[in-house]
Structure 1
Amino acid sequence: MSHGLHTFLEGHPLIHTLWVIKKDQWKQWSRLEDTVKEILSLKKQLGCVGYDVAIDLSGLFRSGVITWFSKAPVRLGFAESDEGSPFFYTHRIHGSMKIHAIDRYLEIARYMGCKINSIEYPLAPYNPAPGILQTLPKKYVVMAPSAGKPANQWPAEKFGELASRLSLPSVVIASGGEAGIADTVVAHAKGNAISIAGKTGLKELIPVISRAAFFVCNDTGPMHLAAALNIPVFAVFGPANPVRTGPYGDIHTVIQLDLPCAPCYAKYPCTRYDFRCMKDLSVDQVYDAIYRKTKAP
């Protein structure tokens, strides 16, 4: 996995070894020499371990190659992967693209003979009371206004207006590089939001999110962390497909306009339809969805 995110898994009792790669660097032609050296080193090291089984849940060409590097006699992945990764598998499992990603991953577990009647989210050890908690209100909502893809981002100004209407203050989370988005939310929240963007790692976010009354977000990574912690999620969706990547569980709410062009899976805001899946979704609609579930003015 890429640098930085691996710290979230450090110390996990179910993980013996973490293999960390610079996957973003692999896309840079200017770093080609370093990338080739890293790939060759990874191939050599993985091949020396003696793995029995390699499982690829990503279905990318890169991840398929890594399963091959493992020299595992059994290499599992999805038959529907479209980047050529199935070429590297010894066993290809059919996982429907019409179900949630978690249920899709469980199909591989089922194939291996695992029981999948209950789902648990074991987390790596973390500090349940980091210092950041001392700076937060006693009761609060957590907002995650950023998103991995620009097209999945509801305007930060609307998040701010939403925060101004809630009875509880909002704690806005984001990476340090996205602090500007969090600042925009705070600027439009009329004093009812604070930003802790860039002040926590993923492990510090766990206790912050676990104490929230509920979680408001775009389609983003921390959304799944909130769902795993059983915190009610209100997720704004535009071009993404909540059936596949929405918050997993019955207590969560997806807020999405019913448009014939959605989901389109766009990475960037569209010009053909003026990005109406996000632009036309009003603060009133999101607020009303929250109010109906929480009955909190």
Structure 2
Amino acid sequence: MKYKIINKKKLIATAAGDMLGSLLHTPLNLFRRKKAIDPALVNTILVIRTAYIGDAIMTLPILKPLSEGFPNAKITFLTSHGAASVLETNPYIHDIIAYDPVWFYAPASGSKRKSYFEFMRELKTRTFDLVIEARADIREILMLVKPLRARYKVSYGVGGGGFLLTHVVPYGGLKHKVEYHLDIARYLGCPVEDIQWGIYLTKEEKANTRKLLRDNNIKSPFVAVHPGVRIPLKKWLLKRYAALYDRIETGLGIRTVITASEKDADYVKDILKLMRTRPVDLTGKLTLRELAGVLSESQIFVCNDSAPMHIAASMDVPVVALFGPSKSIETAPFGNPHRVVEKDFQCRYKCDESTCKHEHFHACMEAIEVEDVIAAIKDLLKEIDV
């Protein structure tokens, strides 16, 4: 089995679990005839993608093909509480289930969210004809897919747990995660032609965005920026963020709007202390859907490899993205006009993004200079004819 796992401890544990599980399930699988997936028998579909917000967004392109390939089916999407809001008003989703698995999300202090067993008791009362686990993770397959009553259970086997599925999607090698997810739809015989994804904002939300911009004296054109990331190693240098934002304001003459989340408030304050100019600071003031609204009105979005980057890409907003330990081949902005700023460090392709093993700590991000990003912004501005 070829696994798509970089962390050696996880790889060993997954391989061992697969070996044991396969041995235990061999007698059952020998007498279980694999049946082709019949769209006429699929009236309910469950798509599972709980971790993380950016990855959930990159799963959205499979929804339109699924709705066309299984025209009689209602689609339910199981995702994290953090990502649930981006699915609201999506025309291809009939129901949203929010759950934060303990194997991905540590319980918040004083949290009253449902336990795994309570959640599964409720989920098992529902019957799905087709369950798609989009991440390919043995924990999701074992803990969320296996207990469900479903005619068809589909995922890749590259994260382990393939022996628990009725159908294993062939893995074609490293590619962008959007294509990785779309290959599931292709395997199921769904038409994959034009790609539709993004956050579907209501008329009221769009009007509220315009009001928010007016209230903060933000006029077009403006550049939205976001220095925050979920994984610390993806973060750039503090002083370079400050220098970059100053250059956008003074060198390019374009208003800068900071759109960071509340958890990055202290970091943004440190950036502002180093700046000569004063950008509009919306840190901690935007929900994910409000962020999507602001980004949709921006000229360009400058950010790290992060969930907001995928929000922008899904809404066709031009993006300049800084990449360090993560692999742009998998998670670069998809489909929209964009520029990726990155340096060639071979260790990036074996990096699990949690621990830097390069002799010069954080070298891949430190190698990116302010001028590199400015050059990318100028180049992208030429492309979009601004």
Give the structure-1-normalised TM-score.
0.89
Q: 1:163 touches 1:170 (CA, 8 Å); kept in 2?
A: yes
Local SS of the residue matching 2:309: helix
CA–CA distance in structure 1, aligned partners of residues 85 and 96 of structure 2: 10
The alpha-carbon deviation at position 188 of structure 1 amounts to 3.1
Unaligned runs of 5+ in 1: none
> 2:194 maps to which residue?
118
Unaligned runs of 5+ in 2: 1-78
Q: 1:257 touches 1:281 (CA, 8 Å); kept in 2?
A: yes
1:102 has 2:189 as partner: no
String of CA shifts for 1:251-297, please: whole Å, max 9, x gaps.
21110012232232322445622211111211111112222232599
> 1:88 maps to which residue?
164
CA–CA distance in structure 2, aligned partners of residues 75 and 30 of structure 1: 31
More displaced, 107-116 or 86-95?
86-95
1:69 aligned partner, one-letter code = P
> 1:143 maps to which residue?
225
> 1:164 maps to which residue?
246
Aligned-residue CA RMSD in angstroms?
2.6
Residue from 367, 372, 375 that aligns with 1:288: 375
Q: 1:2 touches 1:24 (CA, 8 Å); kept in 2?
A: no
Q: 1:150 touches 1:268 (CA, 8 Å); kept in 2?
A: no
More displaced, 122-131 or 208-217?
122-131
Fraction of identical pairs, as percent: 27
More displaced, 176-185 or 252-261?
176-185
1:180 has 2:294 as partner: no
Cα–Cα, structure 1 residues 125 and 259, in superposed 2: closer, same or farther, change >3 Å?
A: closer
1:23 has 2:23 as partner: no
Q: 2:240 touches 2:370 (CA, 8 Å); kept in 1?
A: yes
Local SS of the residue matching 1:204: helix
Cα–Cα, structure 1 residues 270 and 150, in superposed 2: closer, same or farther, change >3 Å?
A: farther
Cα–Cα, structure 1 residues 116 and 169, in superposed 2: closer, same or farther, change >3 Å?
A: same
Local SS of the residue matching 1:18: strand
The alpha-carbon deviation at position 69 of structure 1 amounts to 2.8
String of CA shifts for 1:20-40, please: whole Å, max 9, x gaps.
223358765999xx88x7222
More displaced, 91-100 or 223-232?
91-100
Cα–Cα, structure 1 residues 30 and 182, in superposed 2: closer, same or farther, change >3 Å?
A: closer
2:84 aligned partner, one-letter code = H
Give the paired residue count. Answer: 293
CA–CA distance in structure 2, aligned partners of residues 39 and 178 of structure 1: 30
Q: 1:143 touches 1:171 (CA, 8 Å); kept in 2?
A: yes
Local SS of the residue matching 2:283: coil
1:74 aligned partner, one-letter code = Y
Computing the radius of gyration from Cα coordinates, the structure with the larger value is: 2
Q: 1:163 touches 1:192 (CA, 8 Å); kept in 2?
A: no
1:113 aligned partner, one-letter code = G
1:258 has 2:344 as partner: yes
Alignment of 1:44-59 (within 5 A): 44-59=121-136
Give the structure-2-normalised TM-score.
0.69
CA–CA distance in structure 2, aligned partners of residues 66 and 203 of structure 1: 28
1:128 has 2:206 as partner: yes
String of CA shifts for 1:182-239, please: whole Å, max 9, x gaps.
2233333322422211111111111100011101110000101111111111100011
1:114 aligned partner, one-letter code = C
Q: 1:6 touches 1:20 (CA, 8 Å); kept in 2?
A: yes
